[in-house]
């Protein structure tokens, strides 16, 4: 039985990882930490009803002393780090991305390196480190980050790899493709498309939706974390994602079809982002071969699950913000 801490634990990926671990792992206690107050059931999905679960509001970049004190009280076996700033605004205000994604991580790892209770630290990276690719990128592919956000995540990964190589800090890195799931904040394209479809509004489709990404249900990211926690050798790095990518246009088209709408009635095309990569695509062969992980939820099934979630919590979601606001 293990005690887990999930940093970034009130975000959608932390919530679904906690649910996956509680459902299938040998969990003594599940402690989630986030910088925001605990959200409503539309976003926590009822996980706080599990008696093994606890939530703490702590800002990892500004309250590191409180965070380490929590660790010393609870003595976690495994820490999973989702905590990061991640959005396109890194081009226009990069400093907070480096403060959270690099410096907060460095301070955290330095403190944890002195604690003997920690057995494994799992860093959640990003497929964006490989840049735009024409074929699936393996873990040993060259890194070509193309935004300050991606550079900050690369720096964090490289720091951890160095800490493993020299000081044997017990870490693993997981680089998932673009993930989604019920409970996702509404500035992301899939939940926003669902909300627009359910409320008769139009989705701003940036750049015609030409960019291609691999979309992976957050439950499958959580199951990859579980596989690493239970079976991976320390120091190992893994990608995880679906076999194929889809364009954002196709993704939104699938939402429209599932809702019985015409694509043209759901979207309004707007200019694309500056410097947007054409395609993020990772090769998941290593984690499949070594840890027997593979996606369990198809994209179409996941979209239907998102629609069911949107309908269930529509009275809450229709009043939630749909634009990203940077709050470092």
pTM of the entire structure? Answer: 0.96
Angstrom distance (rounded) from CA 51 to CA 54: 8
Same domain? 146 vs 199: no
Q: Is residue 291 a part of any domain in this protein?
A: no
- For 141-168, what is each residue's pLDDT tens digit? 999 999 999 999 999 999 999 999 999 9
Above pLDDT 70, what percent of the chain?
A: 98
Residues 154 and 133 in one domain: yes
Domain residues for 84?
A: 2-179+216-240
Which DSSP state fits 91? G
Residues 150 and 14 in one domain: yes
Q: Which residue has the tokens 């002195």?
A: 114
CATH number of the domain residue 86 falls in: 3.40.50.720
Residues 83 and 220 in one domain: yes
Q: What is the pLDDT of residue 86?
A: 80
Tell me: do 118 and 196 sit in the same domain: no
Other Cβ atoms closer than 10 A to 187: 14
Residue 323 belongs to a domain:
no
User: CA 59, 102, 171 angle in degrees (round to 5)?
Assistant: 95
Q: What is the pLDDT of residues 209-259, one digit of tens each?
A: 899 999 999 999 999 999 999 999 999 999 999 999 999 999 999 999 999
Q: Identify the sign of the CA torsion 300, 301, 304, 310.
A: negative
Looking at the structure of the chain, the number of domains it has is: 2
pLDDT of residue 270: 86
100 and 197 part of one domain: no
Whether residues 27 and 141 fall in one domain = yes
Domain identity same for 231 and 190:
no
CATH number, position 255: 3.90.25.10
In terms of Cα–Cα distance, which of 288, 261, 7 is closest to 124? 7
């Amino acid at each position: 039985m293990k005690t887990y801490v999930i940093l970034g634990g009130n975000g959608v990926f932390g919530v679904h990882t906690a649910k996956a671990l509680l459902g299938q792992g040998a969990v003594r206690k599940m402690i989630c930490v986030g910088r925001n107050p605990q959200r409503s059931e539309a976003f926590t999905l009822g996980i706080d009803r599990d008696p093994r679960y606890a939530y703490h509001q702590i800002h990892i970049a500004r309250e590191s002393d409180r965070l380490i004190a929590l660790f010393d009280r609870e003595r976690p076996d495994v820490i999973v780090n989702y905590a990061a700033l991640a959005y396109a605004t890194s081009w226009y205000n990069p400093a907070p991305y480096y403060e959270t994604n690099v410096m907060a991580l460095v301070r955290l790892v330095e403190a944890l390196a002195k604690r003997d209770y920690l057995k494994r630290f799992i860093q959640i990276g990003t497929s964006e480190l490989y840049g735009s690719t024409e074929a699936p990128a393996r873990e040993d592919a060259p890194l070509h980050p193309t935004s300050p956000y991606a550079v900050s995540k690369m720096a964090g990964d490289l720091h951890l790899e160095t800490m493993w190589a020299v000081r044997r800090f017990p870490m693993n890195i997981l680089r998932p493709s673009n993930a989604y799931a019920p409970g996702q904040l509404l500035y992301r394209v899939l939940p926003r498309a669902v909300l627009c479809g359910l409320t008769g509004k139009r989705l701003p489709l940036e750049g015609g939706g030409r960019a291609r990404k691999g979309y992976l249900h957050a439950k499958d990211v959580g199951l990859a974390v579980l596989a690493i926690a239970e079976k991976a050798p320390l120091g190992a790095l893994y990608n995880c994602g679906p076999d194929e990518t889809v364009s954002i246009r196709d993704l939104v088209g699938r939402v429209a079809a599932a809702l019985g709408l015409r694509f043209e009635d759901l979207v309004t095309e707007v200019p694309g982002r500056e410097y947007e990569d054409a395609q993020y695509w990772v090769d998941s062969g290593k984690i499949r071969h070594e840890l027997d992980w593979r996606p369990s939820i198809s994209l179409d099934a996941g979209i239907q699950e998102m629609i069911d979630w949107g309908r269930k919590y529509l009275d809450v979601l229709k009043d939630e913000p749909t634009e990203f606001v940077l709050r470092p």
